[in-house]
Structure 1
Amino acid sequence: MAFDDELKAAVEKFLEQNQVGGRLVETDAALAKPIADLDRLWWKRIELLLEERVRDNPEQLVFPEEGRLLMDCGLLSDSLLRDEAPRLRTDLFKELYAAGEKRFYYLSEWISDRLKNHIALEGLQETTAQIQEAVEVIETPVQVRLREARSKLYMAMGPFFENLPGFSPQAIVLLSSGRLDETLSRFRGEVPPDQASQRDRLLDLRTSILSRARSRCTVPAQLEMFDLLGQVDERMSAEDRLVAAPSLLVQEGTREPGIADRRRDFLV
């Protein structure tokens, strides 16, 4: 059965069981099966939407308004809202696209962030190996002390990194272990375009993780940790500029992975 036909049948079954409306799934056994069917179809529709969006733009997920109503508001079919559909749709659009500080972290944003972070990490091991062959990083005593201070701050920030929405465990470990900073420290001076792109994605990943973690702070003392990390980063950048590094060699003969290779398992 085609998806649209399956959805129509499931909606009709639910409305048939809930003609008056207002019945609670938790206490009404007759609604349990129709609700379970709608829930399954909701996830299936999201999968179809994701496949469509990735085909259109493998580098970034951009969802249309109807897609956001589906993913972020759970609106699978207007028929389920009965006469309230026009008013509720208007109210939901206002909430989704309201100006000012966001109140919620929506599912569409979470999935978009996961793909963006997956792209940032893909090919990282190969790129790092190339950089290590081309560049020898020698730390100054000041850089060693700054790196150790940053490591201590990451340890203190551990609770803010736990189950951070939108980021895979791999990304969090990469940052908190210092490996992300170590990799970025090797992108000094002029680099080939492909490595510059990788560097920019990793920088964006680091900034995004720290910004999201900082948003969890509730007292000034917690915010001070992130402010101190910013000061350490600035001092480290100043030290990096004082350290001369040879230009990276452009590596030839490496296979560019296809889209199917690079976009697999980004939600894992």
Structure 2
Amino acid sequence: MRKTLGITLLSLAALQAASASAQDREYCPERPGIDTPACTMAKGRVSVETSIADWTRDDQPGSRDDNILFGDTLVRVGVSDTIEARIGWTPFGHDRMRDSTGVDSVNGVGDVSLGLKANLHNPDGAGFSVAVLPYVTLPVGRSQIGAGDWGAGFLIPVTYEISDTVSLDLSPEIDAAVDEDGNGRHLAYSAAAGLAVKLNKDFTLTGEVQALRDDDPEEHATQTLAALSLAWSATDDLQFDVFGAAGLNDHTPDARVYAGVSRRF
């Protein structure tokens, strides 16, 4: 009887310690920014990360394309201490193309992405942290909002805390990207690097750069961009953010701006 009672008490203590550990893990949304942090959600915790509005402008000789996404959302669910399942979807998008022939507009839903991020070292993102992130995209969206075919990718997010206030993020990625005509796939690969600085306990400023090589059959291109974002941790489980990016060469969209919110449950 005493042995059974002892085992029961030890089990309850272990469960309580695990719960406390999950509660104590600092919230690490993937918004805002280009990089993907290596941290994962604690087991049983859920993060909902949503763009209120996400606008991209691309000016080319003789044309201008404006793409606006509303409610672009990523849901991350901790399934173990080191692994999270992920699903992303854009419920509504608007694309407007203007050129010498007139204006062409498209409205519709975006594609669905499914992924699994497994942390290999320090799932809370402390110190040196590294993870792997395979994902697939399912072509449920409308043309111009969705890609038109399935795609896949693989990331290796790396985070290194230089100090209590400064951290470095790296996100190399390789993709089976969907062709421009929406039929088939091709190789694309990229690398992003960012430096995040905590201005105080609530505000974090992040500067990032990214280079992407896209071997689309219609045109091989290299894109480069720079970005700056600001995150405000209103509470331990709630964050608001703003983000801005500028293309650094002719193959990159000229500008991107968004604002959003992240909430942990």
Q: TM-score, normalised by structure 1?
A: 0.27
Question: Counting helix residues as a fraction of each chain, which structure ranks higher?
Answer: 1
Q: TM-score, normalised by structure 2?
A: 0.27
Which of 1 and 2 has greater Rg? Answer: 1
Question: Counting strand residues as a fraction of each chain, which structure ranks higher?
Answer: 2
